[in-house]
Structure 1
C-alpha cells in the first residue's frame, strides 16, 4: 500500500457564544459614551487516527474573527494562546496558529482582549452626490449569499428614484427593508443562511439575511457596502450574542454603519463589537489545514466570552425635540394628532430614532427613523385614539411621550371628557395636513405656538420662529397675527423668534392665523387659543347620605374637576376648613368624614371652595346640599329647645 500525505481544508463557521452582561441586566447600552469590554475566544479541534499508521506532519488554524481598531472601536490589548504551544503570527486580516509534528491529538486556540467601543458618529458634514462615480468596485460585486438579481436591482432603483443624496438613499433602503422584511427567528433562515434574492422573494429573514439584502441593494446601485460580523447586546435574554450589520462607503468620509435589524441607520450603539468585515456573509470564521497520513479532523464549537468591565458617561441628544398635541381637549372616541418638532443645529447629518413610549392606542407603528440634514428642521406626527367609553363627571388626562435612541424623553398631555366634541380620524388627518411641511423645503419657515389657555384678564400672545431658507437676505419681512405685525430682516439661513401681543379675544376657542410675508414669499400658520373667564373648577359629583341617623358618622365625598391648573384649594364645610389641595390639575377626589351630631337642626351642608389661578387671582364656589338628621333621641330634642 502506498501511503499518501494529503492536504485538507476544513471550514468551520462560528456556532455558539458564551456571554455575560454586567451584574444588573440593562435594556441596552445606547446612552453610554463608551464601553470597555473583555473579549475572549476559545476554539478547539481533534485529529483522530484512522489506522495504526496515522501520522501528523503539520496543522495550521487560521482565525479571521477578532477585534481590530477603527473609527468606532479601540483594541487596547490582544493576547494569543494555544494548547499545545503553537507558533503564532498575525496581521490585520488573520491570526495563524501553526503546530509542526505535534504529539497531541487535541488542540486549542484562543485569544483574550480588551476593547473600547465609542458611541460616536462617522461625521458626514456635506452632501455626497448620488449616484457615485469612480469608486472601487470590489465591494460592489455580487457574492454567493449577497447576490444581485433583476428583482433586487428594480426594487433598489425604485426606492432610490428621484434622490441625489447618498445618505438619503442609504437611509431609505434600510428603512424599506425594516418595514417590509419580517425579522423571524422561527423561519428556516435562522438555521441556514439564505441568499438576498430568497429573502426579498419570501419577505423574511434574521439579522444575516436582512443585512445581506441591504448590501445587495446598495451594491446594485453602485454603492460599495460590506458585511460586518461580531457581537451585540440584545434585551431578548439580556445578553450579548452573534450579530451582523453593514457598512456603506461614503467617499472622503469612510465606512458608515447601518444595522437594519436594530433600526440604527448611520449609527450603531456601543454594544456592537466588530470582529470581522467581509464581502460575503458566508466567509469562514476559522479555517483548518493539516498534513497527515490516515487522520481525520473534528472541529468543535467556538466559544466567545464578552464581559462589560466599564461604561462611560451618559450622552445627550445633539438635536432639539419638542412635542405638542394639535388639539388639547377632546371627547370620547377621539383621534388626537401629536406633532414632534425636531431641529438639527449641527453642521452634519444626524440619524434620529424616535419611539412612542406612552400613549393611548396608536394608528401607526410606534417608531420612526428620521435623517436630519445639517441645520434641518423636521416635523413628524402620530395619531392616538382615545377610549370611547368613559364615566360622566370626570376629566381624564392622557400622556403622550416619545423617546430618542439615547433614552431622552419628551412628553405632553391632553384631556378628554364627556360634553366635548369628539375628533374623527379624518379630522385628525386634516389637522396634520394643515401644519405638515411640504416635502420641499420652504424658502421661509414659520413655526408658531401659544399657551393652551389664556384668562380673559390676560393679554393673549403667540410666539413664532421664522427661518430664512431662501438662499439670500430678506428685507422688510412682516410677521402678523390679528392685525398686529412685527417687522424684521433675516440673513441667509438665519432664524429669529418673535413674540406678538394680541388684542383682547372673545371667550371660547379662537383660531389665530399668522402670516410671514416678504416681497417674494408669503407663508401662513394658525394656532388655537382658548380664552377662559376662570379656571372652570367644578363639582362634578357629590356622594353622601341625605338622611343620617343621629350619633352616626358618615362620609362626604366630592369629585372636583378643573380645566386649567389651580393652587391653594381649600374646602370648607359650614365655615370649617376640612380639606386642602396645594396644586390641582384635572380631577381630584376629596373624601371627608363627619358626625351627624354636628348637623342636628341644620337643613343643609354648606360647601365652600376657595382657590387661586396661576397668577394668584382668588376664586370661590359656595353651594348648599340638603341633609336631614333622623332618629334624634327625645332628650336631645327636648334640651335643644332651650339652646
Structure 2
C-alpha cells in the first residue's frame, strides 16, 4: 500500500548578541556569495517503492528594496514555484541533496518615516489582523505581556517612539544566552519575559508580542546576518528580527538583538516572512512504501565579495563633561547633544567606550528617538574612581559612538586637588538640565556669565557677572536667578531687553570649581557654568643643601641643593643665584616645581680658608610683591694642605674674584 507523508524541518535562528560588528554595520552595501544546502537521507526496505519525493524550500533570498539578486540558481534540478523552490525525485537514492546558490547585493533597509504615526492605531486593513493574534510562540494575549506593553506605551501618542522603546526594553532587560540554542525550538514570548533570557528569535518573539498586545501589527523575519563574535566559528549565521507595520509607510524593520530601530544594516539578508518562528523553512512530501526519510539541517556558506563605502552620518553629536575638572571620587555628568540631520524619524543607541578611571551610574548605552531635525540631550551620570594616584593628573578621553560609526569625543581632567562634587550636587544639576529640556521657552533666553577674575588668591574676592537677554517675543516675569543657593528674585525682562546681575564671591577653599548659575520661572529653566579657581599664593623652599664641611687644596667636590614649590600654584619667572663674594651662577626658571641643582667646585680656586656660599631665590608674586628666600653653606679649606705657594695662589684668586665682582 502506498502512503502519503508530510514532514517539516525547522531550524533555530540566531546570531550572537553583538557589540563588535560596527565594521560592517556602517557600510553602504555588501555583495556576498551565498550557498544554502541540505539533504534527505533515505532508508528503505527490500520491497520499497516510490512514486515521488518532494522538498519545498521557503528559506531563500527574497528580492526587495534592500536586496538585489544578481544570481539565483537552485541546485540539482530545483524549480522556483511561487514562494518556494521545489525539488521532485521519482526514484530512490541513498541521499537526496538540494540547495540554492546566489550572488546578492544587500543594502541597509531604512524606511523614511517623515510624519508622526498616531497611536493608538484606530483602523487597519482586515488583511493585517492576522499579525495581531496569538501564534504558537508569540502568545500576545498573555496577561504579563499585555501589562508590560501597556506600561511602556502609557501616555505616548507616537507609534515610532513606542515601537523603538519596546525594542530597547527587550534589548536592555532580556539577557542574551546562547545556552538556549540547545532547546528543540524557540521559547514562547511569555517564557522569555518570565525568565529574562533568550536568543535572537526569542528576543524577537517577545518584541513582536509586545507590539501585537498594543494593536500594532508585527511579523517575524528570518534570514542571514553577520557577526564578529567569537561565540560563532562562522561570522554568517541564521538570524531572526522583526518588521512592524506603520500606516502609510508599510513594514519597517526592527532588530532588538542588534539594537537597530527602524532600520537594519546591509548584512541583514532577508529570506522569509512569517507570523511565527515556528513556521518551517522546508517541508517534505512523499508517496511510496518501505521508505524512511531523515531530513538534515540546512547549512550555510556565505562569503563576502565586496564591501561598500561608509554610510554618511545621519546624526551629529557634540559631547561635554559638565564639570571639566573633578577630584577623586567626585560625581559628574556627561552631556551629549544629538541632532537628527534627516527629514525623517530616527532612533539610535549611543554607546560609551570603556573608561577605566570612571564608574558609570547609568547603562553604557542609551536609546535616543528623534523626530525629523530634532535635537535632544542624552546624559550619563558617573563617578571618578577614588583609588587613583595622587601624584598624577589624569586627562580622561571619552568616546560616544553609534553602530553606524557616528561618534563624538570629549575629555576632562581628574586630579586630587580638583573640587569634589557630591552626588546630591550632580543630581540637582541633572534635574535642572532635564527641566531646561522640557521647558521649550528656555531656548529664547540667553544667559552668559563670567568671573571678573577666574583665578584669585588668599584674602582676595571676585564677582560673577551675568547678562540675561530675552530673545523671544514674550514678556518674562518673576524670573529667579540663582548662583548655587543664593538667589535674586522678581526679575522682569521685556522683549529684546537685557539685564546685568552681579554676584560677589568669597570662597576660602583651595582648588578649582565650576559654579552653576540658573535662571527659572514657570516657563524657563536655564543653566550656565562658570569656572573659577581659588589659589594659594605661590611659594617655595630651599632644602637639602649638602656640601663637605672640610676639603683639601686639591679636592674637587659638589654642592647640592633643591628648590621646590610648597604651594599648589607654582611660582613663575623664578631666578636662582648661587654665589660667593661677587661671583654668581644664575638659573632662570619659567615655572618652578622641584629641581635639584649641583655645582662642581675646585678647592684650589678658593681665596680663603673659610668659604661661605649663598643661595638666593626670588620672583614677583601675582599681586606684585617681591618674594625672596636665602640659604647658605660653608666649606672650610684644610690649612695643613696649604703650602706657601698655595697661599700665594689663594691671594691671586682673591684678586681675580674681586675684579670679576667689579665687572659684574
Measure how far apart 1:330 and its partner are: 2.9
Q: Which residue of 1 aligns with 2:458?
A: none
Please state whether the residue corresponding to 2:413 is helix, strand or coil: strand
Indicate how the Cα distance of structure 1 residues 87 and 307 shifts in structure 2: closer, same or farther if over 3 A, else same: closer
Indicate how the Cα distance of structure 1 residues 60 and 606 shifts in structure 2: closer, same or farther if over 3 A, else same: farther
Q: Which residue of 2 aligns with 1:141?
A: 133
In 2, the alpha carbon distance for the partners of 1:528 and 1:18 equals: 46
Q: Which residue of 2 aligns with 1:200?
A: 193
In 1, the alpha carbon distance for the partners of 2:100 and 2:423 equals: 59
Does residue 160 (structure 1) correspond to residue 153 (structure 2)? The answer is yes
Q: Which residue of 1 aligns with 2:58?
A: 64
Q: Which residue of 2 aligns with 1:585?
A: none
In 2, the alpha carbon distance for the partners of 1:16 and 1:183 equals: 13
Does residue 180 (structure 1) correspond to residue 173 (structure 2)? The answer is yes
Given that 2:546 and 2:560 are in contact with CA atoms closer than 8 Å, whether structure 1 keeps it comes out as no
Gaps of 5+ in 2: 456-462, 483-487, 508-512, 549-555, 578-584, 604-610, 658-664
Map 1:293-312 onto structure 2 (within 5 A). 293-312=289-308
In 2, the alpha carbon distance for the partners of 1:240 and 1:143 equals: 28
Q: Which residue of 1 aligns with 2:38?
A: 43
Given that 1:17 and 1:305 are in contact with CA atoms closer than 8 Å, whether structure 2 keeps it comes out as no
Specify the structure having the higher radius of gyration (Cα): 2
Given that 1:227 and 1:277 are in contact with CA atoms closer than 8 Å, whether structure 2 keeps it comes out as yes
Does residue 263 (structure 1) correspond to residue 231 (structure 2)? The answer is no
Q: Which residue of 2 aligns with 1:80?
A: 74
Given that 1:54 and 1:295 are in contact with CA atoms closer than 8 Å, whether structure 2 keeps it comes out as yes
Please state whether the residue corresponding to 1:249 is helix, strand or coil: strand
Map 1:505-584 onto structure 2 (within 5 A). 513=517, 522-531=523-532, 546-547=545-546, 551=557
In 1, the alpha carbon distance for the partners of 2:266 and 2:632 equals: 69
Q: Which residue of 2 aligns with 1:326?
A: 322
Q: Which residue of 2 aligns with 1:604?
A: 615
Indicate how the Cα distance of structure 1 residues 563 and 28 shifts in structure 2: closer, same or farther if over 3 A, else same: farther
Measure how far apart 1:335 and its partner are: 1.0
Given that 2:4 and 2:288 are in contact with CA atoms closer than 8 Å, whether structure 1 keeps it comes out as yes
Indicate how the Cα distance of structure 1 residues 537 and 448 shifts in structure 2: closer, same or farther if over 3 A, else same: farther
In 1, the alpha carbon distance for the partners of 2:539 and 2:31 equals: 59
1:29-85 CA-partner distances (Å, limit 9, x unpaired): 222222222222121222221x21122322221111111222333222222212xxx
Given that 1:196 and 1:216 are in contact with CA atoms closer than 8 Å, whether structure 2 keeps it comes out as yes
Measure how far apart 1:452 and its partner are: 9.4
Please state whether the residue corresponding to 1:315 is helix, strand or coil: coil
* Counterpart among 262, 278, 284 of residue 280 in structure 2: 284
Q: Which residue of 2 aligns with 1:89?
A: 80
In 1, the alpha carbon distance for the partners of 2:469 and 2:287 equals: 75
Given that 2:190 and 2:206 are in contact with CA atoms closer than 8 Å, whether structure 1 keeps it comes out as yes
Measure how far apart 1:176 and its partner are: 2.1
Please state whether the residue corresponding to 2:253 is helix, strand or coil: strand
1:414-447 CA-partner distances (Å, limit 9, x unpaired): 3333344422212211111012137856355358
Indicate how the Cα distance of structure 1 residues 301 and 628 shifts in structure 2: closer, same or farther if over 3 A, else same: farther
Indicate how the Cα distance of structure 1 residues 425 and 63 shifts in structure 2: closer, same or farther if over 3 A, else same: same
Measure how far apart 1:398 and its partner are: 2.9
In 2, the alpha carbon distance for the partners of 1:114 and 1:487 equals: 67
* Greater per-residue helix proportion: 2
Q: Which residue of 2 aligns with 1:416?
A: 414
In 2, the alpha carbon distance for the partners of 1:53 and 1:553 equals: 112
Q: Which residue of 1 aligns with 2:580?
A: none
In 2, the alpha carbon distance for the partners of 1:375 and 1:71 equals: 25
Q: Which residue of 2 aligns with 1:131?
A: 120
Please state whether the residue corresponding to 2:53 is helix, strand or coil: strand
Given that 1:317 and 1:406 are in contact with CA atoms closer than 8 Å, whether structure 2 keeps it comes out as yes
Measure how far apart 1:195 and its partner are: 0.9
Indicate how the Cα distance of structure 1 residues 456 and 222 shifts in structure 2: closer, same or farther if over 3 A, else same: closer
Does residue 352 (structure 1) correspond to residue 363 (structure 2)? The answer is no
Q: Which residue of 2 aligns with 1:219?
A: 212
Indicate how the Cα distance of structure 1 residues 604 and 339 shifts in structure 2: closer, same or farther if over 3 A, else same: same
In 1, the alpha carbon distance for the partners of 2:470 and 2:24 equals: 37
Measure how far apart 1:249 and its partner are: 0.7
In 1, the alpha carbon distance for the partners of 2:12 and 2:565 equals: 63
**Bigger shift: 277-286 or 291-300?**
291-300
Indicate how the Cα distance of structure 1 residues 69 and 592 shifts in structure 2: closer, same or farther if over 3 A, else same: farther
Given that 1:16 and 1:304 are in contact with CA atoms closer than 8 Å, whether structure 2 keeps it comes out as no
Does residue 34 (structure 1) correspond to residue 29 (structure 2)? The answer is yes
Given that 2:74 and 2:99 are in contact with CA atoms closer than 8 Å, whether structure 1 keeps it comes out as yes
TM-score normalised by the chain length of structure 2: 0.75
Measure how far apart 1:626 and its partner are: 5.6
Measure how far apart 1:623 and its partner are: 7.7
In 2, the alpha carbon distance for the partners of 1:118 and 1:578 equals: 65
In 1, the alpha carbon distance for the partners of 2:576 and 2:602 equals: 11
Gaps of 5+ in 1: 20-24, 469-473, 490-497, 582-587, 611-616
Measure how far apart 1:476 and its partner are: 7.1
In 1, the alpha carbon distance for the partners of 2:109 and 2:452 equals: 44
Q: Which residue of 1 aligns with 2:4?
A: 7
Measure how far apart 1:311 and its partner are: 1.7
In 1, the alpha carbon distance for the partners of 2:97 and 2:593 equals: 71
Measure how far apart 1:197 and its partner are: 1.6
**Bigger shift: 193-202 or 206-215?**
193-202
**RMSD of aligned C-alpha atoms?**
4.7
In 1, the alpha carbon distance for the partners of 2:620 and 2:30 equals: 57
**Bigger shift: 445-454 or 287-296?**
445-454
In 1, the alpha carbon distance for the partners of 2:601 and 2:275 equals: 90
Given that 2:397 and 2:411 are in contact with CA atoms closer than 8 Å, whether structure 1 keeps it comes out as yes
Given that 1:572 and 1:609 are in contact with CA atoms closer than 8 Å, whether structure 2 keeps it comes out as no
In 2, the alpha carbon distance for the partners of 1:153 and 1:235 equals: 36
Measure how far apart 1:412 and its partner are: 2.6
Given that 1:547 and 1:629 are in contact with CA atoms closer than 8 Å, whether structure 2 keeps it comes out as no
Q: Which residue of 2 aligns with 1:373?
A: 371
Indicate how the Cα distance of structure 1 residues 502 and 289 shifts in structure 2: closer, same or farther if over 3 A, else same: same
TM-score normalised by the chain length of structure 1: 0.77
For these two proteins, the number of residue pairs brought into alignment is 595
Indicate how the Cα distance of structure 1 residues 14 and 596 shifts in structure 2: closer, same or farther if over 3 A, else same: farther
Please state whether the residue corresponding to 2:32 is helix, strand or coil: strand
Measure how far apart 1:288 and its partner are: 1.9
Given that 2:467 and 2:501 are in contact with CA atoms closer than 8 Å, whether structure 1 keeps it comes out as no
In 1, the alpha carbon distance for the partners of 2:153 and 2:329 equals: 39
1:499-551 CA-partner distances (Å, limit 9, x unpaired): 9999898797685757699xxx85231312235699x99799x9995426765
Given that 2:449 and 2:467 are in contact with CA atoms closer than 8 Å, whether structure 1 keeps it comes out as no
